Amino acid sequence: MSVNIIYYLDVTSSWCYWAEPAWAELKQRYAAQPVEFSWRIALLDQTGLPASQAQIEWFYRRSGTIMRSPFMLNPGWFEAGHKEYLAPNAVAEAARDFGVADDRVRLAIATAALRDGQKVLQANIAAAVAAKAAGVDARKLLAGAQSAETEKRIRAATAEFHALQVTQRPTFVLKNNIGDRAVFSGLVRAAPVAAAIDAMLEDAAAYASHAAHFGNPPSS
């Protein structure tokens, strides 16, 4: 029995930033259970991007107060005119090719942008931040981020996200080995996701118990 959970995100998304404590809580809670955690890039497009400095500040005040945050996110990283934020996401994705598939690179980029206001839409800045977090050479990481293969993976993952017919990042997709599936789009709290994981593990355990007692179903 097992559960797989995929977290679709954009590293510059403020709501993904607010969801990170829940993601960390879930990973810790289920560390000793058959739950596999992974993340994939789902690029924001123009429908979800701020159009101005004033607008992003308004968004940050809204999300910050909703989350009861003692600090406001830093809009200093924002640069108008982008149709998507490929560069910082590509750097996070490219880190996988250097053996860093965990959360530390994308969290470092998100923190540099949303807390420190660093201009991570500039690929060299994002790569410098990521290289420090990953312990890899910044030039090699930047080259990987700018490769066609990295962009291809990001486009494929973003297409997967859109195929879910959801619009919000974060989105969490849960599946277990007996075919149960749940999608949580836009939620940033751990509790509803944990409840679904528990239910899926319980259902999978019940199927395993039944199989132990009765074996495979009759062929006819």
Here the CATH number for the domain that contains residue 132 is 3.40.30.10
pLDDT value of residue 111? 98
Q: Map residue 41 onto helix, strand or coil.
A: strand
User: Could you list the residue range(s) of the whole structural domain that residue 44 is in?
Assistant: 3-214
Q: What's the first-to-final CA gap in the chain, in angstroms?
A: 26
User: Could you tell me which residue, 143 or 209, shows the higher pLDDT?
Assistant: 143
> How many domains, the chain?
1
Distance CA 168, CA 162 (A): 10
48: phi then psi, degrees, rounded to nearest 5: -115, 10
Has residue 32 been placed in a domain? yes
Alpha helix positions (H), the chain: 14-29, 53-66, 86-94, 104-114, 123-134, 138-145, 148-163, 190-214
**Model pLDDT for residues 193-203, shown as the tens digit of each residue:** 999 999 999 99
| Average pLDDT for the chain | 96
Has residue 20 been placed in a domain? yes
**Model pLDDT for residues 158-180, shown as the tens digit of each residue:** 999 999 999 999 999 999 999 99
Distance CA 157, CA 40 (A): 6
Has residue 219 been placed in a domain? no
Has residue 220 been placed in a domain? no
Has residue 186 been placed in a domain? yes
Distance CA 161, CA 152 (A): 14
Give mean pLDDT, residues 94-112: 97
